[in-house]
Structures are given as C-alpha cells and as structure tokens.
Chains A and B, each alone.
Chain A
Amino acid sequence: MNKLVNSIREAIVLSGLKDGMTVSFHHHLRNGDYVLNMVMEEISNLGIKDLTVNASSLFDVHTPLITHIENNVVTGVGADYISANLGRAFSKGILARPIEFRTHGGRPSDIASGKTPIDVAFIAAPTADAMGNCSGKYGKSACGSLGYAYADAMFAKKTVVITDNLVPYPMQDWSISEDYIDYVVSVDAIGDPKGIVSGTTRITRDPVGLVMASHAAKVIEASGLLKDGFSFQTGAGGASLAAAKFLKDIMLQKGIVGSFGLGGITGYMVDMLKAGCFRNLMDVQCFDLTAVESIKSDPRHKEISAMQYASPNSKSAAVDSLDVVILGATEIDTDFNVNVHTDSNGYIMGGSGGHSDTAAGSKLSMIIAPMFRARLPIVTDRVTCISTPGKDIDVLVTQGGIAVNPKNKELKERLLKAKLPIIDISELKEKTEQITGKPQTLPKGDKVVAEVIGREGDVLDRIYNVL
C-alpha cells in the first residue's frame, strides 16, 4: 500500500474533491502557515468551485483566500477565530453566505456529530512518515501540539497529511496515527518558523496592565479555589501572562501544588510546571518555543485534542475540570456579555477560540481588560457582538475596580472580605464614561456577515457588515 503521493494536486485529485464539498484546515502554524494557501491554490487551478473552508482559525497570512472567494472557488467559511486584516475584508461582506463562527469545543463537536461533515481534511504536519503517522513536536516547522487537527483527521471522509519532514516508518512518538490518514505529501516547507511560534512571549511592562494583573492574582487568591489540586488557564496576552507570574509567586509562597495548566500553552505555564505549581500541562496548542521544547521533552506536558480540551459532547472535557480561566475582551456589557469577535468599529478581528468553552466549564471565569482603550470604554450597555454569554462570566478586573457578576454572590463576599476594590459594573461604566466621554453608537449594516454559534449549537449573535 502506498499513501505517499507526488504533489498536493495529486492528493486533491485522488481524494475525489468536487464542487460544493467541504475542506478543512487546522491553525497550529498560525501566521506562518503555507499549507492552506498551497492547497487552495491547487484547488483553484483544478477548477473546483463552491467549496466550504472549515478552518480552526484563519490568520492574515491566509489573505489569498479573498481571491478564491471572489472567484467563487470558496463560497462558505467556518472558523473559530479570524485575525484583523482578513476580518476587515469579511466585514465588508465579500461572502454571500455568513461566516459560521464556532468555538474550539463546538467545532470538533459538530464535526464528530456529522453536523458539519468534512470531505477532505488537510493536516499540516511538521513531521510524518509515509503511512501518515504524524506529529507537531519535531522538524524544522515544529509547532508542538496538533490538538485542533484530531477531529479533522478522525472524522473527515478523506485525510491528507502534508509534511516538510518525512521520516522512516514508523516515526517515533506520533500524535495522529496512520489509521486515519489516506494520503501523504512531502513538500519543501509547510510554514515559516518565524510566524509559527513566537521566540518568547513576554509579560507586559505596561504599568496599567501590571495593576490589572496584580488585582487578578489577588482575586484568584481570595476566591477559595487556590489550594492543592488547583487548575488554571490563561491567554497569551501581556496582562494575562503577568497575572500568571503574580499567581506563581503566590503559589510558591504558600506551597500550593496545582493539578494542571490548560489550553494554549506559553513558556510561562511551562515555568509554572517546572517550579512545581502544577503536576501536568494539558496542551492543545503551543504559543512559543519554550512550550514546543517542553511538550517534546517533558512527559508531564501532555498533548490533548480539541475534543478532550473543550467539546461539549465529549464524555468529558478538560474545561469541565477547570477551576480558573483568565480571558480577554474587546467589550463587556452590563450583563457581562463579552465580545471578542469584533473591534469597536464592528470589524471582525478575532473570535471565540476557547473563550466561551472555558468560561462555561470553569468554576471562575475572569475577564481582564483596561477601563478604556484609545478612549473607548470597555464596558458598554450592549456589546457589539455576544461572543460569550454573561451567564458564564464571573468577574471583570480593570485598573479602576473589580466588577463581580451578581449571580456569583459568594465570590463577591469573598472579595469584599479580602478588601479588594469591588465596584458595580454599571458604576464602573459611569466612572469610565466620566473619563472618556460617551462614545456615539455606530449604525450597523443590514447584511449579516457572520453568525456566532455557541458551543451548544445555538446562534448567540449575528455580525453585520460595516457601513
């Protein structure tokens, strides 16, 4: 049996891809990814039309997709996250059908259940053997975890592995195994290492960010959750990382040994593992070189699939065992609904990723954000787009005070007892507007450019074109 084919074009032809089908991609190569563009270029050359692209995330490097949309090669897009430049184009309404935004847990759940079937999945693999066993941990384009690609490999009708580091069969320490793989293609480069992982992720030096981070760590300390067995997830944003640093100091000082750190993993989480703050890391995506090195060499640092990470229909998912998650927001409203999809002008510039999954699963979900960015208040009457519903958010931490969701009375009591600066979210909104002035609300367009689908499959909100 020979799975190794000569070119991406040959793999596409053999896969039987036809007009109207769905192709899928994962985003571990982030803004360094070559694979999506290479594949779509060949598909376009083959004259195939009317495809749906189901990608775990899209980055600015994928801008050629816009040409394929204009040429009707692509007529549907699903993603969990779309970065700003590409998002701007989508916000102008270039697609006839709305984009389907899902969460990192909702996407694999819908793939597994057959709700969003994939005809051909393309797996960008930093190392693979000729039968398709593959891994992200090794090779010149190493990205660490391949967490988001598992569901695609397991449930697509055909799966193509594309690698730039073909090794003899069987490769050691594979992540995705050959029993799911139909074809293997070897290419010169699957990505640009500079765009795949950051050299180092740094904590913020911005004094306001550090104040918020310090508040955040104190909220966690006072929450009653910080004890042996504690589990934690944080984003790669500067203030979130600073919060992790302050938290680490508290954990070491008190001798607390947590159970696991979860999510997209940065060098800071690896430091916490090494310092003894956690027994394990559960890693769906590596953000920097330290994380890649760690997942390769430290058996306590485990790769997990997006299904194990966050799927609402898995028999269990790690987010359901999560104590605390620190998340960001572009806007949050007085009902604690959070927007991470659009900027304040209404342009698409992000997506839920694991935001709503972790917010729903964790015992304490914390938003950390400044009172205002570039004069725009963070707290609004109603967010431009509901990415994560307010019922799943427990607390907002800003430099001007900490607002607790009224549904979580116990947390409020605890934080008051710890003498933290608690403020009602409506008062925080007033206080901020006194500083910034009240912004004019922007008119929305009348065309739906994207639907935000919650992790349970419900449409949370619609994003309109920008006028």
Chain B
Amino acid sequence: MRRSMLFLPGNNPNMLINGNCFGADAVIFDLEDAVSPQEKDAARILVRNTMRYMDFNGCEMIVRINSIDTDYWKKDLDSLLPEKPAIILLPKTCTPEDVLLADEYMTQVEGKCGIEKGTVGLMPLIETALGVENSYRIASCSNRVKALFLGAEDLTADLQCKRTKEGREIEYARTRLVVAARAAGVDVYDTPFTDVNDDAGIVEDAKTAKELGFTGKASISPRHVETINAVFSPTQAEIDYAYEVMGAITLAKQMGKGAISLHGKMIDAPIVARAERTISMAEALGLDRRDINE
C-alpha cells in the first residue's frame, strides 16, 4: 500500500538518514533532478549505503535513476539494484521501448547479482506529451511495470503551458493516466504539489487526485506526507459502509439469495470489490470499524 511517496535528495545525508521518520509509505531516493552532474557518483554510493545500513522498516524503498538518454542510468542500476529496492522509477519514459530497454538491463543486473528475475519493479515516470499518449502501451508492455507516475513539471514544459496550482493544464494527463493504468491493471500516482508553504493547497490537490482515481501521491516535502496519507486513507464512513456491505453479502448467502440491497441500493460486484479493498486497506492501517456501542 502506497498512499504517499516522499522524494529524498540523493546526496543529502541529513534527509536520507531521517527519511524513515516522516510517515511516508514509500521513499524515493532521487539520483536524477536532485543531484548535480558532478555529484552523481557520490549520490549513488551514499544512497547505496543508506539502503544497506539504515533501517527503513515499514517504509518501501524506491530509487529514481537517471533517464535512459544519459550516461548515468546503467551505473545507477549497477550500484542500486543489488540493494533490492521495491521499484525503480524511470524518468522521461516516452515509449514501451524505453521500458523494455530498462527492463532488459535490469534483468541482466539481477542475473549478475543472483537476484531472481523480476524482483525489482518498474514505475515509468510519464512527463512528456509522447509519454501521455503512449501511456496504456507503456503500462502494459512488461510485467515489471507496477504503476504509472505522473510528472507534471516537465510535462507542462513539454506542453508549452504554465504549471498552475489549480492544475487545469494537467487535467487531461491525469485522467488519461488513471484510465491507462487501470486498463493495464496497475497502480497510478499523482505528481507532487510543489508549494511547501501552502497548507490548504496540498489538501485540495490531494483530494482532486483521489477523486480522479489515483492510488496515491508523491511529495517533495515531508510536510505534505501527513496530509496525503489522510486524504488517501479510507474515511470512517467508508470503512463502516464497507463492513455493512460485507455483512449484507454474508446474510444474503446464508439466506440463499443471489442479490441483496442495502439502504435501498442493489449491491453488485463492483460495490463488493470496493468494500473488500476498503477493508483490506483499513486493516493494513489498523483502522477499526466504529464501535456501535460508542
């Protein structure tokens, strides 16, 4: 379960060593934009040691490597794949061929260090117009692809429009990515909200993403993690309703009825599937159903 994914600059020891205390479901060690070209070597080694020696218990580790049009990405994978990150975030993914190229090299490295093939997942970062247009093919071209990730800053530059807080300029890309990812059966993550000091703005932006169907949202600021987690967690009303649905289904089975209604609404398969997802997420988060006696 990933509601929040926090970017940690790959060459900043203070952020890296504290990366697991901000409450993020996953951290993204960033070797790309957060690291200057002359420090790529240093960041690679620093992130490798952080992954090797620090305890990120309960916090999933993701690495953003450099894009495949640079000289760095293979070295990034050579250094960091042996540490078995859950996922490699692949920036500037434009085509399925980009994914397959990375996939193939990851398979090679996995083979070299005796890791089972396919252990490490891939998350294409869609941040070009071409990437958006190819998003379904990208999401479905390899079993390694676990999710899509929308990067709005580079995308709006490519679209030749201004990035705004309201985000009208990325509406199409957002809905397109959600549809593509869901069609391919993978998760989908929303772009970070970049104004660190706008406490109301992050709430609105995260709510928008959740309403559109995103699985979770990335963040460049530890301050946003708590908000993102709250927005992407099921509400008490959702949890209670999910238990009601499951209760009704059980009852229907006992009574040998094929269909049943709850609060005047027919309970069909999608509603049950949603209820099951809500309950499994609530259980993972340690959230209980409301005590009826309270």
Contact = CB atoms under 8 A, between A and B. Distances in A.
A405 interface: no
A187 interface: no
* Secondary structure of the A contact surface, majority rule: helix
Contact of A419 (B22, B54, B286): B286
Nearest to B18: A208
Nearest to B15: A207
B17 interface: yes
A435 B21 CA distance: 13
Contacts of A399: 18, 21
Interface in B201-259: 221-223, 226
A210 B21 contact: no
Interface in A203-223: 207-208, 210-211, 214
A302 B21 CA distance: 40
A242 B226 CA distance: 16
Nearest to A400: B21
B103 to A, nearest CB: 34
Given A434-B55, A435-B54, A208 B21 contact: yes
A434 B57 CA distance: 13
Interface in A385-440: 399-400, 419, 434-435
A225 B176 CA distance: 49
B21 A211 contact: yes
B198 to A, nearest CB: 15
Contacts of B21: 208, 211, 399-400
Given A434-B55, A435-B17, A435-B54, A207 B22 contact: yes
Given A419-B286, A434-B55, A435-B54, A210 B18 contact: no
B226 A214 contact: yes
Nearest to A431: B55
B286 A207 contact: no
In this complex, the member of A207, A211, A400, A435 whose beta carbon has the largest number of chain B beta carbons within 10 angstroms is A207
A207 B22 CA distance: 8
Contacts of A211: 21-23, 222
A210 B227 CA distance: 14
B152 to A, nearest CB: 23
Contact of B223 (A207, A419, A434, A435): A207
A160 to B, nearest CB: 49
Contact of B222 (A210, A400, A419): A210
B226 A207 contact: no
Given A399-B21, A400-B21, 16 more contacts: A207-B18, A207-B22, A207-B221, A207-B222, A208-B18, A208-B21, A210-B222, A210-B223, A211-B21, A211-B22, A211-B23, A214-B226, A399-B18, A419-B286, A435-B54, A435-B55
Closest 8 pairs between A and B when the two form their complex, measured CB to CB: A207-B222, A399-B21, A208-B18, A211-B21, A400-B21, A211-B22, A210-B223, A399-B18
14 contacts: A207-B15, A207-B18, A207-B22, A207-B221, A207-B222, A208-B21, A210-B223, A211-B23, A399-B18, A399-B21, A419-B286, A434-B55, A435-B54, A435-B55
